[in-house]
Amino acid sequence: MDNASSRLPPPSTLPSFAQSLCPTFATHFLLPSLYILLFLTALPGNALSLWVFWLFSATKSTNHVYMSHLSVSNLLLSLTTPFLAAYFASGSAWPRAGVLCLFVVHGITPMLYINIYISLMIMTWVALSRFATLIQHTHASRPSSFTILLPHSFFTSVTKASFATKVCATVWVVTVGSILPVTVFYSVNEATSGNVGKNGESQEGGGTEDEQVCYNEAVEIGGNGSKAGQLPAIVLFYLCFLMVLLSYMIVLKHIRRSRSSTTITASWRLLGRVQRNIVVIQVILTVCLLPYHIFKPIFNVMSSDHQLTSPGESLSAPGVNTTNQCHPLSQLVELKNSLVLLAALRSSTDPVMYFLLDKTFRKHIVSLLTCPPHSSAMAEYDQRTGALRVTTETPTGGQSHERDL
C-alpha cells in the first residue's frame, strides 16, 4: 500500500481480465499475523524506552534526545499496525468508499510512511553525532581531513543536546510537511472525484468490480502521480544510507591510524563504542530498509510498463493467466507489502539498539529487571552527582538499602 492512493490509469489501457488483485494466504494471514506481532513487541518496548529516557535521564545527552524522538516515532508507527493487519485480512472485502478503507488508506498509511522516514533521518543523525564525537575527541598520528574541511563549530554543535532537539524538530516538520500535501492532493482529492485519466482529468463513472473494494490496483500499484512523489523519498534514503556508510568507513580508517600511531591520545573505549554504534545503525538500515528501497523503483517501472501496454499486447503476454482474472502484478504487490512490513519491523528492534548503544539506558533497564523479589523500590536522582539512586525496602523486616547507579 503506497503512501497515497493515486491516479488510476486510463481504463482503455488495461485489459478487462487484469483488473483484479488476487491476495493469497500471505496477504490474508501472514501479513496480519506479523503486524499484530509487531504491535505486541514494538508498543511495550518503545513505551518502556521512552519512560526510561524521560524519567531516568538527569542530564540530556544527544543520544537521549535522538532516541526519545525515535521512541515517539516508533510508538506512533506501532499504533498503525492493528489497522494494517485488519486491512490485509479484510481489505479485499471492504467497500472502497467505506469509513475503514478511507481511514486506513488516507490516514494510517501516510502515518506509517511518515514515521519510517522520520526514524531513518534520526538514526542517520545518531550516526553523524557519534562520528563527530570521535573526530572531535580523538586523533591519530595526524588530524582527520574532516577537521580541516568542516568548521570547528560544526563538531561543537552536532554533539550538543540543544542542537539535537532542533534537528529532531526540523525532521518532524519537514517529513510531515512533505507527505501530508501529497496525501491530500493525490489521495483524498482523487478518491472523492472518481477515476483519474492519463492527463489528470476526472472521469466520473463506476469502474470495475475490483475498483469498488479497498484492496485494489489504484491503492496498491498507484499511478504516475504517486510514483513521482516517491522519488524524493527513495533519494533521501540512499543519501542517508551512504552518509552512514561513509561515517563507518572513516571510523575504521581512523581506528587503524590510531593503532599505528606511536603517540596515541585516543580513548580505545570511545573508539570501540563509536564503531559499535555506527555498525548497529548500518545493519538496521541494510536489513530493514534497503530491500524495500531497492525493490520499489523496480516495481514502479514494471507497473508503469504494464499500464502503457495495450490490451492486445497484455492478452498475449506470457505468464498472464486469463482464466482466474488476476492482475499480472498481484504477486509483486504482495512482495512490496512484505518489504514494507520489513521496514516497519525496525520499530520493534530499536529498543534492542538502545540497549546496545547507550550505557545509561542499559544500566537503567538492568536495574529495573534485577530488583530483589518481594521488595518495593524507589528511584530518584542525586541532583549533585547525577547518579540514579535506587532505594529498596523489604515488606517483612523493614530493612532498606540504597545503591547508586
pLDDT tens, residue by residue, 276-324? 888 888 999 999 999 999 999 999 888 877 655 534 444 334 444 444 5
3-class secondary structure, 390: strand
Task: Kindly tell me the sign of the dihedral angle through the C-alpha atoms of 10, 13, 19, 23.
Answer: negative
> In this model, does residue 105 exceed pLDDT 50?
yes
On whether the CB atoms of residues 140 and 252 are closer than 8 A, the answer is no
Band of pLDDT at residue 30, cut at 50, 70 and 90: very high
Q: Which three cell numbers stand for residue 320?
A: 498472464
Query: Rounded to an integer, what distance in angstroms lies between the CA atom of residue 67 and that of residue 353?
Result: 10
Entry pTM: 0.76
Residues 6+ apart with CB under 8 A from 100: 86, 87, 94, 214
Q: Which three cell numbers stand for residue 296?
A: 520499489
Length of the chain, please? 405
Per-residue pLDDT of 354-371, as tens digits, reads 887 777 778 878 877 775
On whether the CB atoms of residues 395 and 376 are closer than 8 A, the answer is yes
Name the phi and psi angles at 2, rounded to 5. -80, 170
Query: Rounded to an integer, what distance in angstroms lies between the CA atom of residue 172 and that of residue 118?
Result: 7
So what's the pLDDT on residue 260? 61
What letter does residue 95 receive in the DSSP assignment? B
AA identity, residue 21: L
Per-residue pLDDT of 107-143, as tens digits, reads 899 999 999 999 999 999 988 888 777 776 655 445 5
CA 149 to chain centre: 32
Vertex 113: Cα angle to 295 and 62 (nearest 5): 110
Mean pLDDT of 142-149: 55
So what's the pLDDT on residue 227? 78
Mean pLDDT (the chain, rounded): 74
Band of pLDDT at residue 9, cut at 50, 70 and 90: very low
For the stretch 208-231, what's the b/e string if a residue is b when 16 or more beta carbons lie within 10 angstroms of its beta carbon? bebbebbbbbbbbbbbbbbbebbe
More confident residue, 42 or 364: 42
For the stretch 365-402, what's the b/e string if a residue is b when 16 or more beta carbons lie within 10 angstroms of its beta carbon? bebeeeeeeeeeeebebeeeeeebebebeeeeeeeeee
> In this model, does residue 13 exceed pLDDT 50?
no
Task: Kindly tell me the sign of the dihedral angle through the C-alpha atoms of 304, 188, 175, 31.
Answer: negative
> In this model, does residue 244 exceed pLDDT 60?
yes
Give 50-68 as a 3 state SS string.
HHHHHHCCCCCCHHHHHHH
